Amino acid sequence: MLSALDVARRLDAGTLSLDALYDEVEAAIARREEEIGAFVSVDIAAARTAAHGAYGPLAGMPIGVKDNIETGDRATAYGSAIHQGYRPAVDAAVVALARRAGATIVGKTVTTEFAFFSPGPTRNPHNLEHTPGGSSSGSAAGVAAGFFPLGLGTQTGGSVVRPAAFCGIAGFKPSFGCLPTVGVKIFSWSLDTVGIFARSIADAAFGAGVLADRDWRVDGEVPAPPRLGFVEPQPWAQADEEMAVALERVRIAAERAGAAIRPVALPPVLREAFAAHQTIQDYEATRALAAEVDLCPEKLSPVLRQTLDAGAAITATAYDDAQRTADQARRAFADILSEVDVLVTPSAPGAAPIGLASTGSSVFNRVWTLIGAPSANVPGMTGATGLPLGVQTIGAVGADGKMLKAAHWLEKCVAAAADN
């Protein structure tokens, strides 16, 4: 895998040339893209040329951009048959900000249909028979396969944290609203959040910090051991045996390394928030995609049509109630996060499921997306079958820097434990 910080430092120091970097990118893609299928389109030559004229904190940095994020110089199809070949007028805001910082787009990456459920062809670099997760399948798999050190994705339920976990990389979803969704194909305007994939938490913090104009860097720091809240019992779902064991190992390692461990029982409103997420998502998606539904319903996948039909049956009253629940959950969550630095939970029920028909479950991610809290997948663990297992850290809304510090600490702790 390529490290964004390492690439930036070596380019800066002159120990890595742009051509050597793009040769490496090109070789990695030539070697594995055919079997992985991370891209919907790729143009290394254009990226290489752009890199030679780039300046800024990400000067020359190769990135992958999920194909629900518009690009002015490349087609953007949102993973939908309806929009094949569509060419937006201009870049999405976050893409423009990335280019302004010097990043260059290697390719547009596979998204599930409208960043919802119906998967694309991408396979998990760790085992081609397994899903890479979704909806940001291509950006996650592309980072894991060494195609680019930074990938842009979006999360409505768990579409950044989950694929990061399945692909064994860092995934960071900032607080809601930090990164602009202007030019992102919106599925749910109360939920959709732009996030970033990278080899490590430090890399993700570096890249996202540049885009969000925030001082989020954690590299070079030796942070103090954080206060970690472990959710007990998990109210929404059970982790599988392997994940439960992994989480317990993390807890023990963190405690040994000096973290303050606290069990956290979620109040009832946070359980209600789980249902509120689906109500809000489905109600809004039905409206966000109204044009597509009316124009060519036959080009929507059956699973999406079903969801939109369900959304159409949700009353405005039920939606308004769900928004009120979300507000209450935000307040309750803020109280919990005054006692600990982050919550720690599984990123997913287990390792990446076998098969490509489903991208797995966002059951462990949805509520935090609803609340708008920053969350990340901390990579570094491996399950019995050799597939990655990820734990999720969740911070207070707006306290992205603190969350990233704790995640960075935990990543080092997990790595140290794995070495023993």
Q: Which spans of this chain sit near a copy of itself (rule: CB under 8 A)?
A: 72, 82-83, 86, 89-93, 95-97, 99-100, 177, 180-183, 186, 189-190, 212-215, 284, 287-295, 315-316, 320, 323-324, 398
Minimum CB separation of residue 237 from a copy of itself in Å reads 29
If the CB atoms of residues 67 and 284 are measured against a copy of itself, the closer one turns out to be 284
If the CB atoms of residues 27 and 290 are measured against a copy of itself, the closer one turns out to be 290
Minimum CB separation of residue 189 from a copy of itself in Å reads 6
Minimum CB separation of residue 261 from a copy of itself in Å reads 30
Looking at the annotation, which residues are catalytic? Answer: 66, 135, 159
Minimum CB separation of residue 107 from a copy of itself in Å reads 19
If the CB atoms of residues 205 and 381 are measured against a copy of itself, the closer one turns out to be 205
If the CB atoms of residues 100 and 249 are measured against a copy of itself, the closer one turns out to be 100
If the CB atoms of residues 247 and 308 are measured against a copy of itself, the closer one turns out to be 308
If the CB atoms of residues 96 and 245 are measured against a copy of itself, the closer one turns out to be 96
Minimum CB separation of residue 15 from a copy of itself in Å reads 30
Minimum CB separation of residue 181 from a copy of itself in Å reads 7
SS (H, E, C) the chain: CCCHHHHHHHHHHCCCCHHHHHHHHHHHHHHHHHHHCCEEEECHHHHHHHHHCCCCCCCCCEEEEECCECCCCCCCCCCCHHHCCCCCCCCCHHHHHHHHCCCEEEEEECCCHHHCCCCCCCCECCECCECCCCCCHHHHHHHHCCCCCEEEEEECCCCCHHHHHHHCCEEEECCCCCCCCCCECCCCCCCCEEEEEECCHHHHHHHHHHHHCCCCCCCCCCCCCCEEEEECCCCCCCCCHHHHHHHHHHHHHHHHCCCEEEEECCCHHHHHHHHHHHHHHHHHHHHHCHHHHHHCHHHCCHHHHHHHHHHHCCCHHHHHHHHHHHHHHHHHHHHHCCCCCEEEEECCCCCCCEECCCCCCCCCCHHHHHHCCCEEEEEEEECCCCCEEEEEEECCCCCHHHHHHHHHHHHHHHHHHHHC
